[in-house]
Amino acid sequence: MTNLLTMNELSNDEIFSILEDANQYKDGKGWVPNDTIFVSNLFFEPSTRTRFSFEVAEKKLGLQVLNFTAEHSSVQKGETLYDTVKTLESIGANAVVIRHQEDHFFEELIGKVSIPIINAGDGCGHHPSQSLLDLLTIKQEFGSFKDLTVSIHGDIRHSRVARSNAEVLTMLGANVLFSGPTKWQDPFNLNGQYVAVDEAIKQSDVVMLLRIQHERHNEKTNPFNYLTEYGLTKTRERQMKKNAIIMHPAPVNRNVEIDADLIECERSRIFKQMENGVFVRMAILKRALQQITNNQEVNGHVIY
Ligand code: CP
């Protein structure tokens, strides 16, 4: 069973293989299944990028897509996640892509269902497909991760993107810095060092901004002054290294964590990240599904 649940379950070789496959898909090449394969996308939390880029990836691979939204399903009648996935498996789904508000939602499924589970984001836990598309974007820019400085800014504590990226970037040889309000520092000793925002920005090859995750906070946060205290202003952007880039998993809150004028500036790779998301998700689906299909890899096969 080839699940994708967290980044730390992937070896460096597996990560580079996924990135290589994503590049193949970007070039219009790569594996596509001959069989009829059904994949169900289960989104229990809102999503635009992850949901639709998985759907585009699935359609580019010729997969049959079963879209599920909790509000229009029997979850409303009390059906559990486990019973929902078991039902989809019985009906014929060959894999499930799941976003869920609970950290580690997948633990109740492991070993109990026999189809691959792809984590599309679990609470404050992990977001491996986002992390892989971030890695692809960084690799396209710098060729390697070794000795790069990547600073991650903002609501670190509630960010599954920060958690997944800090782990894997450190494993791949990058130096990770964090900055942001003290109250949102992560209590679980993430790989990386906290520094003041101005210092982090000056040192970084990659400046990665995060949205304030209001939906995961107990108290209301007023974002007034957040940009000048913690965000990427135009003044700070001028302090960045010559070839440094700006990244953000999005959705972006304009003029909160980043000045709106910087979102599409020359340094920004924010929309490039989204474009890469489709190719990385095609590679993730290949990894999950290749073993359950009969056909062989068709290198050089043009699929669109
Ligand atoms: N980056 C990301 O996960 O965006 P969505 O919440 O829109 O999927």
Model confidence over 3-39: pLDDT tens digits? 999 999 999 999 999 999 999 999 999 999 999 999 9
- Per the CB < 8 A criterion, the answer to whether 256 and 227 are in contact is yes
Please give the distance of CA 193 from its chain centroid, rounded to a whole number.
22
CA distance 114 to 291: 13
pTM of the model: 0.94
Distance of alpha carbon 104 from alpha carbon 184, whole angstroms? 20
| CA-based torsion, 120, 61, 19, 254: positive or negative | negative
Side chain identity, residue 187 = P
Ligand 1 and 130: CB distance under 6 A: yes
Q: What is the CATH number of domain 7-127+274-292?
A: 3.40.50.1370
SS3 of 118, please?
strand
Cβ–Cβ < 8 Å for 86, 115: no
Q: Extract the tokens encoding 40.
A: 């169900």
49 in contact with ligand 1, CB cutoff 6 A: yes
d(CA 115, CA 135): 26
Atom of ligand 1 lying closest to residue 51 CA: 8
Q: What was the pLDDT predicted at 234? A: 98
Tell me the helix, strand and coil percentages in the chain, rounded to 5: 40, 15, 40
Q: For atom 4 of ligand 1, which residue has the closest CA? A: 49
Between CA 194 and CA 170 the distance in angstroms is: 14
For ligand 1, the distance from its centroid to the CA atom of residue 45, given in whole angstroms, is 10
* CB 107, CB 101: distance < 8 Å: no
Ranges in the chain annotated CATH 3.40.50.1370: 7-127+274-292, 128-270
d(CA 134, CA 15): 12
| pLDDT at residue 1, rounded to an integer | 78
Percentage, residues of the chain above pLDDT 90: 84
Q: Say if ligand 1 is within 6 A of residue 2 CB.
A: no
pLDDT of the residue at 92:
96
| Centre of ligand 1 from the C-alpha of residue 56, in Å | 14
Q: How far apart are CA 52 and CA 139, in angstroms?
A: 24
Q: What is the pLDDT of residue 197?
A: 97
The ipTM estimated for the assembled molecules is 0.99
Structure token digits, residue 164: 């997944």
Cα 277 → chain centroid = 8
Annotated binding site for carbamoyl phosphate: 49-50, 99, 127, 130, 250-251
- Domain 128-270: which CATH class? alpha beta
- Give pLDDT, residue 303: 40
Cβ of 101 below 6 Å from ligand 1: no
pLDDT value at residue 294: 58
The per-residue pLDDT for range 155-165, each reduced to its tens digit, is: 998 899 999 99
Integer distance in angstroms from the first to the last C-alpha of the chain?
28
Indicate if ligand 1 lies below 6 Å from the C-beta of 252.
no
Residue 251: is the preceding peptide bond cis (ω within 30°)? yes
| Under-70 pLDDT residues of the chain | 189-190, 294-304
Q: What is the pLDDT of residue 219?
A: 79
Report whether residue 165 contacts ligand 1, using a CB cutoff of 6 Å: no
